[in-house]
Each structure stands twice: as structure tokens, then as C-alpha cells.
Amino acid sequence: MNDFDLVRKNLFRRKLRASLMIVSILIAFMIFGVLAGFYRAFTLGEDRAAADRMITVNKINFTQPMPIAYFNRVKAVEGVRQVTFANWFGGYYQDPKNFVMALAIEPSTYFDVYRSEFDVPPEQLQAFVRDRSSALVGEKLAQKWGWKIGDRIPVQSNIFSQKSGGHTWDLTIAGIVKGKVEHVDTNFLLFQYAYFDETRSFGKDTIGWMILQTTSPENNDRVAKAIDAMFANSTAETSTDTEKAFGQAFVAQFGNIALIVLLVVGAAFVTILMIVGNTMALSIRERTREIGVLKTLGFSGPRILAMVLGESVLLALLGGIPGLAIAALIATALRASLTNVAPAFAVSPTIALQGLALMIALGLITGIIPALNAMRLKIATALGRG
């Protein structure tokens, strides 16, 4: 029997007690895994934002329009490699409750700016550019409604009206857009701005926002200043920011999600620290005599210390690893329904590693005091007690 067997047998000497502690640790790590996974997915956009991409919006607020003439003027700014624009459509399908993230876009530049995110077969893109009343649909949205290339889809807007009076635009699906990387949400529909602009009843010649790519991230500041200075004191002043800063400010609008996650995970960990810490102390106290015997048999103090710590770390791992595994299952199960907020909801390798580090830390913290006591225990006291 080696030391590890001894540790394992000690831990499961009281099977019920060990199982209960494993359950409480499991739950804490499950909460950690789910919340950390959610938070990561929720803020992934900002981490993965392209460093050379910037967003220009109306300075009043990003929901306010600006003239389409800005598009060509921004294109001419030195340091701008490519620029495109989009307009929010406020789309829904069949019922206002079935929100569709629909944008009217500039077809020849949009997929150039987003070329590292979106994948459209060239012939589908060509078909889209050719047919003014066509649309490209993200893979996820197409799956959701079972749409195929060639389908004619009536998309309604909760904001815009057709000049003819209706709220419905009939669009033919010209292609399906796939995401190139994990965090890309393909739950969208894109159609031609030119068609949208000439059919809508108000707001003509205005656009929602521009997305531009600079020749290099070092030029970002200069480009932003040049653009905003160009439109200063006009009726539509602009505000240009990196995609990352824009994304961060937007996420912050929902509230301090990071703080909420931290508090909940903190509460879960304080709970297990106390429960496991006290129980470990109790278990070791109950075994005082045995530790005395082990010492009599020649087990050194440090070896005893290592064995007690090993026991508490083993306990933390036995609860923590299945806890993270369950969190991963939960994330997979919930991903579909959270696709709008957190498309890449998952327990990532980084989170798993952080979790592992937390397990070891938890094991060491809960075990250290009983372990030190056991190490320092004098044989005479130990055998004399009880």
C-alpha cells in the first residue's frame, strides 16, 4: 500500500461524509464553470475584436442616422484601407416576437471588412450583388427557420415602412453565410442597402453606422481624429472608436455583469471553503490516534503533512472536475437559446485550467491547518488523547 492508497482510503473512510463534500464542491465548480463560460461568451466580441477595425457612429448616439455621403468621404481619409456601412432594419419574421437581426448593408465592401469572420461562397456573393432584392442569411438563422437558397422570405420591420405602405420586404435568399471562427454569431440576415433605401418611406440617404478597417492599428487614433474632425460642427457629428472600445461600452450598458458573476461565484466558494475546511479539520481530529500510530511507525512530519494535503486536494479534484464537466454540458444545452447574447457559450480550456487551479487552491487552503496540526502532533499527545 503506497501513500496514495492511504490517502484515498482515509478520504472514503466515511463514505457519506466524503460524498456530501464532493457534492458541495461539485456544485460550486458547476456554478463557476457556467458563469465564467457565460461571461466569456458575453464579452468575447471585445476580446476578439479586430485591432484594425473601427466603428463610426453619430455622435449623438449610435442609434441616430448620418448621411450616406459620409461613406465616400471616409473612404478618402488617409489610413483607411476599406470602409463599409450598415443600417438597422428592426426585422421580424411572421410575428413581432420572432426578432430577426436584419441589416441593410453595402454588398461590395461589407464582406471585405468582415473577411476574417464571415465565409460566403463567391458565386453566392455574386448572386447577392446581382439581385437587388436578395438577401444573405447566416447559417444559424437559416437553420432556425429551415430556409434554403432560392426561398423568398417576407421580412417585416418594426421601424420602417415601404413607400407603398406595408411593413414587409420580400427577399430572395441568395446565399448562406458561415462563421469562420468560433465566436461568430451567424444569426442574421443581410440585404442590399440600395434596395432598402429606395423602397423605404422615410430616412432616405441616411445610414446607421460605418465600419472601417485601417491600414494598421497604429493609425487608429489618427484616422479617428481625422474622421471626427471632418464632420465637426455639421448637423451630424460623428464619433469614431475602435471596435473593441465600442463593444465594451455597449456591454457595460447592461450593467456590471462582471461584478454580479464575481459575487455569485464568490458566495459559492466561501460556502465550500467553510464547509470543507471545517469537515477536514473534524476528520483529522478524529484520526489523531492514528496519526500518532503512523508517526510511531516512522512516518515523518512532512510526509503526514503531504498526506493530509493530498487528501484535501483529492477531495477538491473529485468534486471540481465533474462539476466543470456538468457545467460544460449545461453550456452546450443552453447555447441554442442564448445565441443572441452569448453565441459561444462554453467552458473553454482557459476556464477549465482556471478551475483546476482553483481546485488545487481550495484543496490546499482547506487542508493546510489540519495538515499543519497533524504534522506538529507529538506522538505522546496523540496516543494519550481519547
Partner 1 sequence: MRSLWLQVAAVTSINLKSIAQRRWLSLSTVIAIALVVIVLLAFLAMANGFQRTIAGSGANDIAIVLRAGSQAEINSTVSRDQVRLIEDGPGIARGSDGKPLISPELYLVVDGIKRSTKTKANLPLRGIGEQGSELRKGITITSGRMFSRGSNEVVVGKALLRQFEGFDIGSTVAFGATRWNVVGVFDAGGSVFESEIWADLNVVQSLFNRNNIVQTVRARLTGPAALSELKSYSDNDPRLKLDVKSEAAYFAEQASQTSDLIQKLGWPLAIAMALGAVAGALNTMYSSVASRATEIATLRAIGFGGFPAFVGTLAESLLLAAIGGLLGAAATYLIFDGVTASTLGGNFTQVVFDFKLSPWLIAEGVVLALIVGLIGGLFPALRAARLPIVEGLYAN
Rounded to an integer, what distance in angstroms lies between the CA atom of residue 235 and that of residue 66?
9
Q: By CB under 8 A, name the one of 78, 146, 253, 349 that touches partner 1.
A: 253
Handedness of CA 91, 94, 97, 98 (dihedral sign): negative
Our finding on whether 372 is near partner 1 (CB under 8 A) is no
Per-residue contact string for residues 187-226; x = within reach of partner 1 by CB under 8 A? ---------------x------------------------
Any residues with CB less than 8 A from the CB of 140 and at least 6 apart, and which? 185, 186, 187, 339
Q: Which is closer to partner 1, CB of 91 or CB of 107?
A: 91
Q: If binding is defined by CB under 8 A, does position 249 make contact with partner 1?
A: yes
Per-residue binding letters, 77-116, with partner 1 (x by CB under 8 A) = -------------x-x---x--------------------
Segment contacting partner 1 by CB under 8 A, of 3-11, 18-26, 47-55, 293-301: 18-26
| C-beta of 29 vs 85, nearer to partner 1 | 29
Euclidean distance between the first and final Cα of the chain, in Å?
27
Nearest-approach distance from CB 58 to partner 1, in angstroms: 7
Q: What is the CA radius of gyration of the chain?
A: 30
Report d(CA 334, CA 345) in Å as an integer: 8
Classify burial at 86, counting beta carbons within 10 Å of its beta carbon; exposed 0-12, middle 13-18, buried 19 or more: middle
> Looking at beta carbons only, is 29 or 128 nearer to partner 1?
29
- Per-residue string for binding with partner 1, 152-191, x by CB under 8 A? ----x-xx-x-----x------------------------
Contact (Cβ atoms closer than 8 angstroms) between residue 32 and residue 327: yes
Q: What's the CA gap between 278 and 275, in Å, rounded?
A: 5
CA-CA-CA-CA torsion for 332, 334, 338, 343, nearest 10 degrees?
0
Q: How far is the CB of 342 from partner 1 (least distance, A)?
A: 12
Rounded to whole angstroms, what are the CA distances from 341 to 47, 185, 319?
Answer: 15, 9, 30
Binding-residue pattern over the window 321 to 360 for partner 1, x denoting contact by CB under 8 A: ----------------------------------------
Closest to partner 1 by CB, 298 vs 386, is 386
| DSSP strands (E only) in 305-378 | none
At a CB cut-off of 8 Å and minimum separation 6, what does 101 contact?
91, 141, 187, 188, 189, 340
Residues 270-309 binding partner 1 (CB under 8 A) are 270-272, 274-275, 277-279, 281-282
Contact footprint for partner 1 (CB under 8 A): 16-17, 20-21, 23-24, 27-28, 30-31, 58-61, 63-64, 90, 92, 96, 156, 158-159, 161, 167, 202, 233-237, 248-249, 252-256, 263-264, 267-268, 270-272, 274-275, 277-279, 281-282, 386
